[in-house]
Amino acid sequence: MNDAGDRLRDSLPALPLAGRIALVAGATRGAGRAMAVELGRAGATVYVTGRTTRERVSEVGRASETIEETGELVTAAGGVGIAVPTDHLDEERVRALFGRIEEEHGHLDVLVNDLWGGEHLMAGSIFGKRSWETPLADGLRVLELGVRSHVITAALGLPLLVRSDGPLLVEVTDGTAAYNRRYRENLYYDLAKNAPIRMAFGLGEELAEYGGTAVCVTPGFLRSEQMLAHFGAAEENWRDVTAVEPTFAIAESPQYLARGVAALAADPRRAERWNRKSTSSAELARVYGVTDADGSRPDAWAYFDALAAQGEQGAPVSADDYR
């Protein structure tokens, strides 16, 4: 346990984000949905966007999670959830989204840029392939989903965000800056998952004069609905997956990152702690004293580093030592 983090958590008011206006872009499922819910639990009004609705399914192909349901979960948690179906590659739809927030509130306090939706491409045609073996259309689609959508959202949302008395931009990626010094298996994926880190660095420079914070966050091995479905498991029996994928022993629920991000958003010292930086669910848990849904504090990136060292030295590594 981290005593300093626990004390910081206990010192926060019950609804530290009451009166704050947030947008979680890409909140249909996984970490995006969980972050929206936790921001709502802290008292925020949360606009949530995504492409899958109760009437239409996106290219991800999962009808079981919808953006309307996310909005309802935010409200049920104690916040105000407002679902706005949006494709963030459609500039006019994004302009309309921010126009609505401006009309209804005049400003935005928190922008979480969690846009992705490229897992089906990764599994189908990209992982394990060299750049010139990757279908160009699929590679470019990865860059649209993972980079262009983030740039459009930031470019159109920042003019509203800087009206806040403490603007916060949270970019979401896969891997910390330190971990992503490794090549992430495929050029297009590597570019897509390093771009949000650089966005947080560059936009942190620009937000500093407004007292703002731009930070890039990453979960570890995320136990999302989509990942569980990939393994034919559910949250109740997720540990059964370790029989076929031993590293799943370090998996974390979406709530883990979400709790850390909600605590960061409520932190009055967040700019000095996090501006321009890259961090992880595990580091946020240590700083703010939060835990995963089961009370543990998994550190997937440290675990993967230990596994890499094991290959060189032969020392055994247990995921239990990193929970």
Tokens matching residue 65: 């999670």
Cα 69 from Cα 81, distance rounded (Å): 10
Name the one residue in this structure whose structure tokens are 């709502």: 40
Residue boundaries of the structural domains of the chain? 3-297
253-272 burial: b if 16+ Cβ within 10 Å, else e: bbbbbbbbbbbbbbbeebbe
Q: pLDDT 10s digit of each residue in the chain, 323 long?
A: 466 666 665 666 789 999 999 999 999 999 999 999 999 999 999 999 999 999 999 999 999 999 999 999 999 999 999 999 999 999 999 999 999 999 999 999 999 999 999 988 987 678 889 999 999 999 999 999 999 999 999 999 999 999 999 999 999 999 999 999 999 999 999 999 999 999 999 999 999 999 999 999 999 999 999 999 999 999 999 999 999 999 999 999 999 999 999 999 999 999 999 999 999 999 999 999 999 999 999 999 999 999 988 866 667 899 999 99
Kindly report the pTM of this predicted structure: 0.94
Q: Which CATH architecture has domain 3-297?
A: 3-Layer(aba) Sandwich (3.40)
Element containing residue 170 per DSSP (H, E): strand 168-172
| DSSP element (H, E) containing 254 | helix 254-265
Are the CB atoms for 57 and 72 separated by under 8 Å?
A: no
User: Whats the size of the chain, residue-wise?
Assistant: 323
d(CA 13, CA 27): 25
Q: How far apart are alpha carbons 44 and 244 in whole angstroms?
A: 40
